[in-house]
Structures are given as C-alpha cells and as structure tokens.
Amino acid sequence: MANRRIGMISGDGIGPEISAEVRRILSAAGFDPEWVELEAGQPALDRGLPAMPEETIQAIRELGIALKGPTATPIGKGHVSANVALRKALDLFANVRPSITIPNLKGHFEDTKIDLIIVRENTEDLYAGIEFQPHKDIAQAIKVITRPGCKRIFKYAFEMVKAQGRKRITAVHKANIMKLTDGMFLEEFYLMANEYPDIIADDIIVDNCCMQLVTRPEQFDVLVTENLYGDIVSDLCAGLVGGLGLAPGANIGEHYAVFEAVHGSAPDIAGKGIANPTALLLSAVLLLRHIGEHEKATSISNAVLKVLGDGKIMTGDLGGTATTREYGDAVIAALAS
Ligand code: ATP
C-alpha cells in the first residue's frame, strides 16, 4: 500500500485546508499512499497556465486515479472550467453523487430515510461548450446528446444498480419539450432497461422530479440524468441531506477516476479554517471503495456518522462552531472508538 500512488489536487479557495485535513484523517485510518501533488485552479492560472494544466491531466493518465479539491471557475470569457476540462480530457463520463440521510443530523428531512444516488452524464448536453454569438444581440448554445453517450451512461448506471443490489432506476429528462435530444435519451434508457428485467425502470420529467424530491425524497433510489439537470438536481439533493459540506462525488471513466466534493471553492470562507471537510472526506471514501479498501472506507464513514450524529462538534455550515481541525480531531477520535 505504501507505494500506491494517487494524484492529489488541493485546488483553491477552501481546497488546500480541507485537503490537508482529509489526508490527516486518511492517515489516521491507516491509509498512507504516496500522494502526488498536482496543480490546478487558481495556482495554475497565477502561473499563466490553463485552470487544468496539461501536465496535471497527463499525470492522472499515468496514475489512473486522483482526489480533487475544489477549483473556482472565473465567470465569463476566456476561462474553461478546470472540472469540465478534466472530465473531457479523461473522458470521465459518469458523475456519481450519493445523497444519504445522516442519522440524528438535524435538518428539514431528519426523520426521512433518504438513500439515493444520482448518476449524471458528464461530457455532453449544454456542457459540450458549443456557444456562439451570430449577432450582437443573440447568443446561442448547442445541446448535444449522442446515442453512444446515452448507451454508456445507462450501461454504467444499470450495472451500478445491479452491483449495489438496488431496485429501481429513474431517468430524469424533459422529453416532452426537447423531443429529439431528451427523446433520444429516454428511448435509449428503455432500450437498456430491456436488458435488466429485474430492475424497475421508470422516468420522470425534471421539473416534477424537483417537486417530488422536496416533498417525498424517500421514494427515489437511483436517478440517471443528463449533464445540466444532473448538476442542478444533485445540489438540490445535497441540500436535502445536510448541505454542500457533506456531498461527495466520483467522476468515473473507462480508464480513470477522479473523486471530488460536489461543492465549489467557497471563497467566502476560504483561509479561515472553518470549512467542512466532510464532502471531500466522503469522496475519499468513494475512492477507497473504488480501489477495494472497503474496511477503511467503512471505518471512516462510520466515524463521520458518529461525529455528525452526536451533533456536538460540527462546522459552521451545520450550525456548529468547530474549526476544520477540531472536526477532523473528532473524526480521528471516533475512528478509534
Ligand atoms: P462553484 O461555482 O465553484 O461551484 P458555487 O457558487 O457553487 O461554487 P460553493 O463554493 O459550492 O459555490 O459554495 C456555496 C456556498 O456553500 C457558499 O456560501 C460556501 O461558503 C458554502 N460551502 C460550500 N462548501 C462548503 C464547505 N465544505 N464547508 C462549509 N461551507 C461550504
């Protein structure tokens, strides 16, 4: 294990502080790989490089796997998001985001058992980056949905449902309005469903899905959706179970995997030592499961559940006063108990 090499992008904003804390907790749990530091986000921009430098992408190609802290995307012209660049370059086509109720954590849905996973297609849709301005008063973006893109995300999603022993998968779309793009997405979904007769497959229109999620979220098991709907719906789901500070994510491709929190770089609280490292820590738990380190993954997630369930040592986003470090200390103490 000592010579396992994993890429580590600390990122910017709160990235460096939560990354350091997560590495400290992983080490306390007995996971000490060789972390290969890789640059992206503001530190790269400051050196005149793109937000996701080619050398970082190449390093992940060689390592195969990375843990990534948040990187801010400057709004407006000339900046390609580091995340979008990475997903495209490594063809990380599946973005997997679990949302699970944390027992005893206070919140709007504290008495509701939410245990759902969003599988978001990560490379197509309006994120294809095809935007142009044919006239000074008209700006256009092109939504791209391809049949091979649909097939591989559905294959991945149905296989994931099967492997995890889940029961149901729901396609989220707007095919009543976008009859060709979302229509193709839906058509391919049901074609794939035919190959998995033991899994319940159904679909829901995205606006109704949002309404159902904030009224009866417990009804959902796995949601599979396009890139833009997935972005929005997964933030909504993060909010259902305690907020962005707790929501982990995995970007999976055929050859590479990059694990990162759903949240951004939170510049409003950066450098204060008060950010919640849980989302990145739970992303690291997904990484551990991906490489077969299930025991360590379970012991870390149990420690997190214990600390959050006790409710005594929590960061500001969850209504507490603990610093990032104090929270990390509590998780490390819970590892041993
Ligand atoms: P981006 O455009 O980079 O995705 P965003 O605009 O979605 O960023 P975030 O950076 O995710 O925004 O932050 C949204 C809000 O949630 C901010 O007020 C931020 O402080 C808070 N937040 C996000 N992550 C955390 C965290 N780990 N701990 C505490 N608060 C957080």
Domain limits for position 233:
99-245
Pair 115, 234 in one domain: yes
Two structure tokens written together for 46: 């400051």
If one residue of 21, 263, 265 were mutated to test the ligand 1 pocket, choosing by the most ligand atoms within 8 A of its CB, it would be 263
Pair 195, 115 in one domain: yes
Q: Name the residue with tokens 């995890």.
A: 164
Pair 151, 61 in one domain: no
Element (H, E) at 118: strand 115-121
Q: Is the CB of 281 under 6 A from ligand 1?
A: no
Kindly state the DSSP code that residue 258 receives in the 8-state scheme: E
Phi-psi region of 105 (alpha: psi -120 to 50; beta: other; left: phi over 0): beta
pLDDT tens-digit readout, 309-329? 999 999 999 999 999 999 999
pLDDT score at 72:
85
Pair 283, 314 in one domain: yes
Backbone angles phi, psi at 169, to 5 degrees: -135, 135
Backbone angles phi, psi at 30, to 5 degrees: 90, 15
Choose the final residue of a domain: 196, 212, 245. Answer: 245
pLDDT score at 38:
97
Q: Is the CB of 275 under 6 A from ligand 1?
A: yes
Sheet-wide strand order for 222-225: 34-38, 5-9, 65-68, 257-260, 250-252, 94-100, 115-121, 222-225, 168-173, 200-205
Pair 131, 237 in one domain: yes
Tally of domains in the chain: 2
pLDDT score at 307:
96
10-residue mean pLDDT series, the chain (337 residues): 85 96 98 96 92 96 97 73 90 95 84 94 89 95 96 97 96 97 98 98 98 96 97 93 90 96 93 97 96 94 94 93 98 92
pLDDT score at 320:
94
CA of 320 to the centre of ligand 1 (A): 17
**Alpha-carbon distance 285 to 148, whole Å?**
30
Pair 119, 240 in one domain: yes
Pair 73, 181 in one domain: no
CA of 243 to the centre of ligand 1 (A): 10
Pair 28, 74 in one domain: yes
Atom of ligand 1 nearest to the CA of 71: 3
pLDDT score at 303:
97
Choose the final residue of a domain: 188, 223, 245. Answer: 245
pLDDT score at 77:
60
Pair 108, 235 in one domain: yes
pLDDT score at 109:
87
Task: Compute the Cα dihedral for 55, 61, 67, 73 and give only its sign.
Answer: positive
pLDDT score at 304:
96
Pair 87, 104 in one domain: no
pLDDT tens-digit readout, 96-134? 999 998 888 888 888 899 999 999 999 999 987 789 999
pLDDT score at 78:
63
Q: Is the CB of 244 under 6 A from ligand 1?
A: yes
Q: Is the CB of 72 under 6 A from ligand 1?
A: yes
> Torsion over CA of 319, 324, 326 and 331, rounded to 10 degrees?
90
